[in-house]
């Protein structure tokens, strides 16, 4: 009976997902990614030697890879959709020639302060060094490095801003003070896109930020009263700030399209997808949408900042359990898979173009 129930759940889940399309890439996909833990494929571990222990990585890789989830991240699924290898961290010195691009994202990154590792501005400086070094090696006879044509046709992905908002709230800034910082964050993203464009990049894929107020970590830390919560149990003020950031980012992308007419800039509404997962969790086969799979304390959030996933007495849910949140901050592979499928449907992109537009 249990196996029949599992098969039924999988069938229902698959039927709810948008149909994925076969990649139409005619050239080798090249991707450069900039961001935070939502897309870090091992940058923190490579850059600082920081240890991320099991059960991180248990679902797909069967080992810890530096990703803050149980398996694959959204960016991994997007790479798979164009038959590209998983992006290696820029700071990983062994095991990659970076012939398919590089990942500059690092756990904890924000846009401000701009000079502190590994802020977005620092990631852009790392990219410019990477590009310069690639040209130098090509000139000396290397056949493996990406050339100027490759950098021009590559996709540049940006997924950052969540930590800027979260850190401001963590510092006990008022809602008005948090909102006042948003234009400064957007200015850094604008500078990053312009810098890449000035150095030949023409294809951009920009993610907005998710519903910060729905993270089990934030809910545990704030311990909000019922009047501070929205109908789905998320912190209203946190989500409101995220939405204001997203609206500003949407306008920024529109502005840059008009200024850089030779560029393609896609804005992707990650917030809408993630909030739909929370609001309609049962439809997707998830239970306890505001509770972490790996953590401590049990319901309602299974989170305790003093006993986080892979530390102390923290325990993970049974493998195969249907949770949205892995560790109170980051999504499970199961949730990331749905997120990727929704993105690949084009329904959440402005303008609506297939993800593989950059490698046709």
Instruction: List, by residue number, the catalytic residues.
Output: 37, 327, 330
> Between helices 236-259 and 270-279, what is the axis angle to 10°?
150
Say how far apart CA 344 and CA 265 lie, in whole Å.
16
Sheet (strand 349-350) strand order = 101-103, 31-35, 155-159, 203-207, 264-268, 349-350
Say how far apart CA 318 and CA 18 lie, in whole Å.
27
Q: Which residues have a Cβ under 8 Å from the Cβ of 317 and sit 6 or more positions away?
A: 293, 294, 323
The answer to whether residues 108 and 163 touch, using CB atoms and an 8 Å cutoff, is yes
Q: Is 7 exposed, middle or buried (0-12, 13-18, 19+ CB in 10 A)?
A: exposed
Helix (H, G, I), strand (E, B) or coil at 19: coil
Residue 71 tokens read as 């398996």
């Amino acid at each position: 009976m249990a196996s029949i129930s599992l098969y039924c759940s999988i069938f229902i889940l698959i039927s709810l997902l948008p149909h994925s399309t076969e990649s139409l890439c005619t050239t080798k996909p090249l991707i450069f990614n900039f961001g935070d833990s939502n897309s870090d494929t091992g940058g923190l571990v490579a850059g600082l030697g920081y240890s991320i222990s099991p059960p991180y990585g248990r679902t797909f890789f069967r080992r810890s890879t530096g990703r803050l989830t149980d398996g694959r991240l959204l960016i991994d699924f997007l790479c798979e959709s164009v038959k590209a290898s998983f992006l290696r961290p820029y700071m990983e010195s062994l095991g990659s020639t970076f012939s398919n691009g590089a990942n500059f994202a690092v756990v904890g990154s924000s846009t401000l302060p701009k000079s502190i590792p590994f802020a977005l501005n620092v990631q852009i400086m790392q990219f410019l060094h990477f590009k310069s070094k690639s040209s130098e090696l090509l000139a000396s006879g290397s056949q493996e490095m990406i050339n100027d044509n490759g950098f021009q046709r590559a996709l540049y992905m940006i997924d950052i801003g969540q930590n800027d908002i979260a850190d401001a709230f963590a510092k006990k800034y008022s809602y008005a003070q948090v909102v006042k910082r948003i234009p400064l964050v957007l200015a850094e993203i604008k500078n990053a896109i312009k810098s890449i464009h000035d150095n030949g990049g023409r294809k951009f894929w920009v993610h907005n930020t998710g519903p910060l107020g729905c993270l089990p970590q934030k809910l545990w830390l704030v311990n909000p009263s019922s009047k501070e919560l929205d109908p789905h149990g998320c912190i209203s003020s946190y989500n409101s700030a995220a939405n204001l950031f997203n609206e500003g980012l949407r306008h920024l992308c529109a502005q840059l399209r008009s200024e850089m007419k030779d560029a393609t800039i896609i804005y992707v509404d990650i917030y809408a997808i993630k909030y739909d997962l929370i609001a309609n969790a049962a439809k997707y086969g998830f239970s306890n949408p505001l509770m972490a799979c790996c953590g401590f304390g049990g319901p309602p959030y299974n989170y305790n900042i003093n006993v986080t996933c892979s530390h102390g007495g923290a325990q993970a849910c049974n493998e195969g359990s249907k949770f949205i949140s892995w560790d109170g901050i980051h999504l499970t592979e199961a949730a990331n898979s749905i997120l990727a499928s929704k993105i690949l449907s084009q329904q959440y992109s402005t303008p609506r173009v297939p993800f593989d537009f950059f490698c046709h």
